[in-house]
Amino acid sequence: MGWRLAHIFRHPIKAHGRERLAAVGLREGHCLPFDRHWAVAHEAATLMPGWNACMNFTRGAKSPALQAINARFDEEAGQITLTHPMRDDLTFAPDTLQGQAEFLNWVAPLMAGGRALPARLVTAGRGMTDTDFESVSILNLSSNRALGQRLGTDLGLDRWRGNLWLEGLAPWEEFDLVGREIAIGEARLKVVEPIGRCRATMVDCATGRIDVNTLDALEEGYGHTNFGVYAVVTQAGTVAEGDQAKVLS
């Protein structure tokens, strides 16, 4: 079928920036290492121990400027560097009180008016994915191009906050993978369900401003607001840009 893994992204702080990786080791039953490892609880959050739903966190669907953050995580130093067109670069240690204070001060001006303000960085001992299970999101470059053509613009990749981008599938062919197991590089993943989308995907990640109505375009063109699929890792292994991908069952 000629599929290949074109891009890998992770998001160290949920909804607060992304970074591109050349390769990553996947673990059975887990999301990408340090993907959504931290999340930003807002002042109105009601948190339970462990995983919590996205309504408890600040995110691009409510504050579009957050979508323009890029991130780089130095695992050895335990530091994250964030960049944004409206803010000076920030390098901080998210697991320290000083680092958390520096981050909250840095991000506060990016919040939309009238929204609950960011209160603290939290962790859960697992990725704070949008799903209550540790998921890996798999997206299709052809679907992105098809939707962009419908909207008359290049949508880019960042607005979708995906992990693994595949090349070589037909537009929307990823939805046919639900319930099937695929191999990418050394790893295997079971595709579980489509990804329902929110207003964050309407934002231009270069500017942090809404530029297109992706949700209406999906609904009017395809009868749903899904883009990409969630998968779970069933066999650990390293995946790298350029790796071949195929359906196993």
Q: Which residues of 189-208 are buried (b: 16+ CB within 10 A; e: fewer)?
A: bbbbebbebbebbbbbbeeb
Report whether pLDDT(93) > 70: yes
Model pLDDT for residues 146-155, shown as the tens digit of each residue: 999 999 999 9
Dist. CA 157–CA 65, nearest whole Å? 16
Q: Span 230-236, mean pLDDT?
A: 98
Q: Domains along the chain?
A: 3-31+131-247 (2.40.33.20), 39-122 (no CATH)
Q: The tokens of 22 are what?
A: 């050349």
Report whether pLDDT(81) > 90: yes
Angle subtended by helix axes 141-151 and 214-222, to nearest 10: 100
pTM exceeding 0.85: yes
Q: Which of 21-30, 70-79, 106-115, 189-198 has the lowest mean pLDDT?
A: 106-115
Q: Within 13 Å of residue 234, how many CA atoms lie on the same side as its CB?
A: 15
Nearest one of 158, 60, 196, 181 to 118, comparing CA atoms: 60
Model pLDDT for residues 139-195, shown as the tens digit of each residue: 999 999 999 999 999 999 999 999 999 999 999 999 999 999 999 999 999 999 999
Confidence of residue 114 (pLDDT cuts 50, 70, 90): confident
Report whether pLDDT(41) > 70: yes
Per-residue confidence (pLDDT) for residue 1, from 0 to 100: 54
3-class state of residue 215 by DSSP? helix
Report whether pLDDT(28) > 60: yes
Report whether pLDDT(25) > 80: yes
Nearest one of 229, 164, 183 to 23, comparing CA atoms: 164
3-class state of residue 99 by DSSP? helix
Q: The tokens of 223 are what?
A: 């009868």
CA end-to-end span of the chain, whole Å? 14
3-class state of residue 219 by DSSP? helix
Confidence of residue 55 (pLDDT cuts 50, 70, 90): very high
| Averaged confidence pLDDT in the chain | 97
